[in-house]
Chain A
Amino acid sequence: MEILALFIKFALLYGIVLMLVALGGMFSERSGIINIALEGIMVIGAMAGVVASIDLAGAGLFVKVAGSILAAGVAGMVYAFLLAFASVSLKADQTIGGTALNILATAIAMVIAKRVNSSTGKISDSARLVYSYEGFVYNIGGVTVNIFFIVGIVLLVLSYVILYKTRLGLRLRACGEHPQAADSLGINVYKMRYIGVLISGFLGGIGGLAYILPANPNWDFKYGIAGMGFLALAVMIFGQWKPFKIFFAAMFFAVFKSLADIADSIPLLSSLRWPKEIYNMMPFIASMIVLALTSGKSRAPKAEGIPYDKGQR
């Protein structure tokens, strides 16, 4: 029973993170922009959220929780703006721009974390931020649930509604499939793509915070976000760019990912004495197999990765 509780805790933790970030990637890609910068957006969002939670530690619990989640989302948006600017306005190569932002993110996060750690005008040598997850984590009937579970479900439903039930969603999808046709009907393709990337930044930023805050009492930003953003990209592809499929894909990956954390408590697995790295490898290997099997019927947005040029025929 205890194992099951632990399993649910970690599966939910990773599942919600992967789902949030993959939903972010979905909004960007449905509008036609490949968002490989999700990893970097997560780092920046996590950093901003953690710093906010440290700063708001004195204020009430609700202010602290809401404030840090909002800070993470907004920081992610600001960072994603850099991607939108490069790939929409300047028509730069989206993969290269995104990779640059990934590399830049860890450096920025370390500089800021060291600045936050500084005391009496002296910059610290460590980028490890210490914080409290009080208010983010609750124990309900022996199962640890964190606040991001609720946030995640709300955002999932909201994403579905926005994408399929609103005018904005329809226009966004049109820009990812056939921007020329969308443009001919008077839709501003550039604006739609900006919106797609910015929503993606908001969700990615919150996802970053959701990954590091509820599970660890401190985090060294030297490690960035340890590949979660890239895993979320695989989740998005496995989820065929659709909200609820992404949810199930995220849970599927989360089960593999959480095995690393609970293997010691399961008698059968602990008797194998496999090193932790084997379990860490599993979600990546699983995603490779899944990608190889599903590659034939990929539902990728048709215009993704191609910069839209109004003057081009």
Chain B
Amino acid sequence: MKRRILSGLNTILAALICVFIGLLLGFIILVVFSWSSLASKGDPYTFGKVIEQAWSLGFQRILLGGFYQLNWKIPPGNQALRSEIAKVAPLLLCGLSVGFAFKTGLFNIGAAGQYTIGAFGAYVFALVLGMPWWVCLIASMLFGAVWGAIPGFFKAYFNINEVITSIMFNWIGLYMANTIMYGNGSGVMYNALESKNWKLSIKNPGAIIPDLDVDSSIKFADKSTFVKAFTNPATIGVFIAIAVAIVVFIILNKTVFGYELKACGYSKTAAKYAGINEKRNIILSMAIAGALAGLGAGLYYLTGTEQWNPQENKALPAMGFDGISVALLASSNPIGTIFSAIFKSHIATGGPKMEKTLFPSEIADVISGAIIYLCAFMLLFKNKLAKLLGRLFLSGDAPKGGVK
């Protein structure tokens, strides 16, 4: 028991080290930018001033995220916090998607494509078929599941690496969804006037996921601050996402089904020998991963505030790749993913809050990119830490090679 707690602590510490180094790197970049802007003005400046500017106009705002200039009283004052919370749901689900695949020995780099197809499914059911929100959510899951199952099928029956297949199907999915939604400018889902997909509030208000703002007749200022934080665009989506994370945790750790999937991940041949249908399980794992990513898109685009733009979205949605960072930071633990998703959303909200004329907002992306790069050799940190922790707390009986 003591060893298990230590191992958990070890994982958390390793993740925190990655985060810390990533943030430090971001701060150094901000200092360089701050210095170059002061130097180009030609006025005399001091080292203290460079640091001060990098901190107050840049780094502090990244750290504050949605809490920067937060104002509960005036409704737009908490817009940033609400959009931060709204982004947690898709990030968490994409993270769960990648993490679930990791746990079953697969690398789901296709979350971006599954996310795109999930959004497409949600739009088809919301705008074409006029279904209520929960049907649309199920649709987004099913569409994503199909898109995830395809690379699984190729892996199981043709032995093609799922990474390469997923990448191919990312692009196929993106082009396909955009072509159908755009429909040469006259698609049913496409609003030519706005050059985006139709707003759900105009075409089918029933497809918008309800928010906690149950009784809209109550005036905004009368409600508790907690409720205010979760009104549109932060819908009940984030709670659905957290519930899904818990379900995934239970499936993976407490059920026979989850055990079989993980067994296939550890050793395909051993699983086969033990009587597990390994082909079926690979396809199922990828389908579940795809369903999770698809649901993420549903939870995001059914908030009613986000509109897909089939013409603008020529690049794959970043959400799918952010899912990889979220999963890695959490060591694929579904519960840990909740926290890493919140962190990622927080940093991403903070980026554009920086002084635009001094710091490009993408520095926030550099920070999270650096964090994933560090996560790639997190195992190294973990082994070093395990030895250290073992020496501190388990004097004498520390296993050789560290806690795994």
Contact = CB atoms under 8 A, between A and B. Distances in A.
A237 B168 contact: no
A289 to B, nearest CB: 10
B160 A291 contact: yes
Given A99-B109, A275-B179, A295-B158, A281 B172 contact: yes
Interface residues of A, number: 51
Contacts of A125: 356
A194 interface: no
A114 B351 CA distance: 14
A226 B175 contact: no
B366 to A, nearest CB: 5
Interface string B208-234: 000000000000000000000000000
B164 to A, nearest CB: 6
Tell me what chain A mostly uses at the interface: helix, strand, loop, or mixed: helix
B64 interface: no
Contacts of B370: 104
Tell me what chain B mostly uses at the interface: helix, strand, loop, or mixed: helix
A281 B176 contact: yes
B54 to A, nearest CB: 13
A295 B33 contact: no
B376 A97 contact: yes
B321 interface: yes
A86 B366 CA distance: 17
B137 interface: no
B366 A111 contact: yes
Contact of B164 (A97, A100, A234, A277): A234
Interface string B149-169: 000001000111001110111
Contact of A226 (B172, B179, B314, B328): B314
A39 to B, nearest CB: 9
B379 interface: yes
A62 interface: no
A92 B167 contact: no
A100 B322 CA distance: 10
Nearest to A36: B163
A123 B172 contact: no
Contact of A123 (B168, B175, B178, B356): B356
A123 B33 contact: yes
A270 to B, nearest CB: 13
Nearest to B163: A95
Contact of B373 (A100, A110, A123, A280): A100
Given A95-B163, A291-B165, A103 B324 contact: yes
A125 B354 CA distance: 12
B360 to A, nearest CB: 4
Interface in B254-278: none
A90 interface: yes
A96 B328 contact: yes
A129 interface: no
A203 B299 CA distance: 42
Interface in A245-273: 273
A230 interface: yes
A287 B109 contact: no
Q: Considering residues B168, B170, B379, which has the most beta carbons from chain A within 10 angstroms of its beta carbon?
A: B168
A171 B10 CA distance: 40
A25 B163 CA distance: 15
A152 B170 CA distance: 29
Contacts of A123: 33, 37, 356-360
Nearest to A125: B356
Nearest to B107: A95
A92 B362 contact: no
B46 interface: no
B372 A99 contact: yes
Contacts of A58: none
Given A121-B37, A122-B357, A291-B165, A100 B372 contact: yes
Contacts of A280: 171, 175
B393 interface: no
A114 B40 contact: no
A292 interface: yes
Given A92-B376, A97-B373, A275-B182, A292 B357 contact: no
Contact of B178 (A92, A108, A277): A277
B379 A92 contact: yes
A26 B366 CA distance: 28
18 contacts: A91-B380, A99-B321, A100-B375, A104-B369, A110-B360, A114-B360, A123-B358, A123-B359, A233-B167, A275-B184, A277-B175, A277-B176, A277-B178, A277-B179, A284-B169, A285-B168, A287-B168, A288-B154
Given A114-B362, A121-B37, A230-B168, 17 more contacts: A91-B380, A96-B372, A100-B372, A103-B365, A111-B363, A224-B315, A227-B316, A230-B164, A237-B164, A273-B184, A275-B179, A277-B175, A285-B168, A287-B168, A288-B165, A291-B158, A292-B160
- Top 9 A-B pairs ranked by shortest CB distance? A104-B369, A107-B365, A92-B377, A100-B372, A100-B373, A277-B175, A97-B376, A121-B40, A277-B179
